[in-house]
Structure 1
Amino acid sequence: MQHRKYPFIVGFLIVPLVLYITFVIWPYIQTIGYSLTNWQGESQTFKFVGFQNYSDLFHDGVFRTALWHNILLLIFLPVVTILLALFFAFMVNVGGRSTAGGVQGVRGASIYKVVYFFPQVLSVAILIVLFGAIYRSDSAGLLNGVLTKLHLEDANNPIEWLNDPNLVLWCLLGVQVWAGVGFYLVLFSAAMQSIPKDIYEAALLDGADRSQTFFKVTLPLLWDTVQTSWVYISIFAMDFFALVSGLTQGTYGGGPDHHSEVMSTYLMRNFLYFGKSGYACAQGVMIMLLTMIVSVITLRASRRDRIEF
């Protein structure tokens, strides 16, 4: 009976495994192969050039600029998103006044959860349309209109949010933080609700204030969830294609003058616009390798002893 279970298990696994190898692993292998050629996309004739494409990447100023922008996103996006989500999750779950019945969230916590989560149900296309109107470069834009009404801005000289080289990347970062905080708020809230309330009550009885309760109780017990969230946001920061291509000027975004360029937009421009498909495949391999390295480093750097409760 023991030996009969293996054919049964293999029978269930073989089809998903074949599909995974065919549609995930094999395209990766093909991309690595094409990255070693001078393939031009439409042409079926190409020759092997070795690591020339990778050598060209490190001498490509636009690629280095795009890489630097991804690094900035990699630093700020997880930090800002997770800190805000942790703060809001703490407030809606245990941030209210302690009562005879124990600790509780702020009044109207369930409504706040819905409000914060609402941006998560919006598609990227809707976000692009919405923030395209908010960041409009004239007084008809929401931000410029509000600033003009408050007399903080000259109506004849509005701020060009997405056309200013010093502002465009931070505007995009703000969009993603606004859209992503709600998801992680709900994720952290679910994790917090699994923490016994007795732990919070004991901390309060020992004289701990809210900040001490958060740093000494909540954060250590949520560390596994924070670690997973950090890796997930870091992977997203290495992509960022949709918002950049939809909100910024230029073919597949990246403007003005590459000040919002990220590696994925530069890849797509080389692949579909310039016809440098082999070169674009080399960029794709670099993105994959960098994403794997970032994920491993994040997991290793944030590893802590597991706390049981």
Structure 2
Amino acid sequence: MRQGKHLSVTLSKYGFIASFLAAPIILYSVFVVGPYAQAFQLAMTEWRGIGTPKWVGFANFERLFQDEVFWKAIQHHLVLLLALPLITIAIALFFAFMLNVGGGSRGGQRVGVRGSGFYRVVFFFPQVLAVAIIAVLFQTVYRPDESGLINGVLVKLGLDPIFFLINPNLALWSIIGVLVWQAVGFYVVLFSAGMASIPTEIYEAAELDGASRISMFFRVTIPLLWDTLQVAWVYLGIAAFDAFAIVAVLSVDSGGPDGATTVLAMEIYRNAFVYNRYGYASAMGVALFFLTLTFAALTLRVSKRESVEY
């Protein structure tokens, strides 16, 4: 009798939980899992947007691995995967450290540099701007004549203008600079939240031991922020696999000059909506999906370490 009552309570409990989970699971399956499944299916076909898709099996993937443009985009993503997280995290960590604990100790509390509240607003400002607006803004900054913000200063100083987006050797790095400028503010806030959770006593103990600000940064702050850094690296890596909007608006000829800034998302768009090769574009999308998934899994695996307790 008691076992039957216990079973009834258990079923009632899990039934109640399932009733709340049913709607989100259904919505997720329809609007997330469903489109992914359709993309995988479409990648096995040849389809121009009208008529019945023609089943071609793995032909699109065989063609993909022989496509020079695909491999050029992969090379650009590798540069982005190294440069974007490294530069963004380094700058954001420095700013967050200075804004939270760089001002020393006042009244028994670690404080940031003078004016840190104002700097937080300034650093976060790019986050409230749409990506397209940022790209248009930097078109003015990078303009190759004296009407550009940077080249206007160089011309007045008697120097030759720099062709940021026209020179194939500079174009990708110019776009990386925009991506870093856009992302830093968010990670300053993220790292600031992490630093706020570090007990003040740890910094005070390090200070009593004679640790400098640089020593506290590398031996206290970074080890205790490791989990946050891990998350930041994954987020920035995923951003490096995208960068579509910035490249589409800012680059010459949408990925130029001569493909110097093209990325996979740009090639997916071009194949689908310019060349009407939807099956081939879906194959690129599937490749991008697995590349992103592999990167996230490897990053979490490689950067895994024992948590620091305090």
TM-score calculated relative to the size of structure 1: 0.95
1:102 offset after TM fit, Å?
A: 4.6
2:145 to 138, 152, 158: 138
Taking the aligned partners of 1:30 and 1:47, their CA distance within structure 2 comes to 14
1:160 offset after TM fit, Å?
A: 2.1
Matches within 5 A, 1:115-194: 115-153=122-160, 158-194=161-197
Comparing 162-171 and 96-105, the one that deviates more: 96-105
Comparing 286-295 and 206-215, the one that deviates more: 206-215
1:196 to 196, 199, 224: 199
1:240 partner amino acid? A
1:46 offset after TM fit, Å?
A: 2.4
Deviations 1:188-237 (CA, angstroms, capped at 9, x unpaired): 01110111111001001011111111111111110111101110110010
Comparing 125-134 and 237-246, the one that deviates more: 125-134
**Match in the other structure for 1:229:** 232
1:39 to 31, 39, 47: 47
1:25 to 33, 40, 55: 33
Comparing 159-168 and 171-180, the one that deviates more: 159-168
**Does the residue aligned with 2:169 lie in a helix, a strand or coil?**
coil
**Does the residue aligned with 1:44 lie in a helix, a strand or coil?**
coil
**Match in the other structure for 1:272:** 273
2:99 to 69, 76, 92: 92
Q: Does residue 260 in structure 1 map to residue 261 in structure 2? A: yes
Taking the aligned partners of 2:235 and 2:301, their CA distance within structure 1 comes to 14
**Match in the other structure for 1:288:** 289
**Does the residue aligned with 1:2 lie in a helix, a strand or coil?**
helix
1:44 offset after TM fit, Å?
A: 2.3
1:126 partner amino acid? I
1:62 offset after TM fit, Å?
A: 0.7
Taking the aligned partners of 2:13 and 2:89, their CA distance within structure 1 comes to 44
2:47 partner amino acid? W
**Does the residue aligned with 1:166 lie in a helix, a strand or coil?**
helix
1:99 offset after TM fit, Å?
A: 4.8
Taking the aligned partners of 1:249 and 1:179, their CA distance within structure 2 comes to 20
1:215 to 214, 218, 222: 218
Aligned residues: 302
Deviations 1:246-285 (CA, angstroms, capped at 9, x unpaired): 11122xx101110010011011000000011100000000
**Match in the other structure for 1:103:** 110
TM-score calculated relative to the size of structure 2: 0.95
Deviations 1:15-62 (CA, angstroms, capped at 9, x unpaired): 111111011001111111110111112x22222111111111111111
Q: Say if 1:102 and 1:201, in contact at 8 Å, map to a contact too.
A: no
1:300 partner amino acid? R
Taking the aligned partners of 1:101 and 1:244, their CA distance within structure 2 comes to 48
Q: Which runs of 5+ in 2 are unaligned?
A: 1-8
Q: Say if 1:239 and 1:262, in contact at 8 Å, map to a contact too.
A: yes
Deviations 1:105-144 (CA, angstroms, capped at 9, x unpaired): 1111111111111111111121012111111121111111
1:150 offset after TM fit, Å?
A: 2.1
2:169 partner amino acid? N
CA-atom RMSD, angstroms?
1.2
Matches within 5 A, 1:235-250: 235-250=238-253
Taking the aligned partners of 1:272 and 1:102, their CA distance within structure 2 comes to 57
**Does the residue aligned with 2:233 lie in a helix, a strand or coil?**
helix
Taking the aligned partners of 1:152 and 1:182, their CA distance within structure 2 comes to 32
Q: Say if 1:37 and 1:46, in contact at 8 Å, map to a contact too.
A: yes
2:31 partner amino acid? F
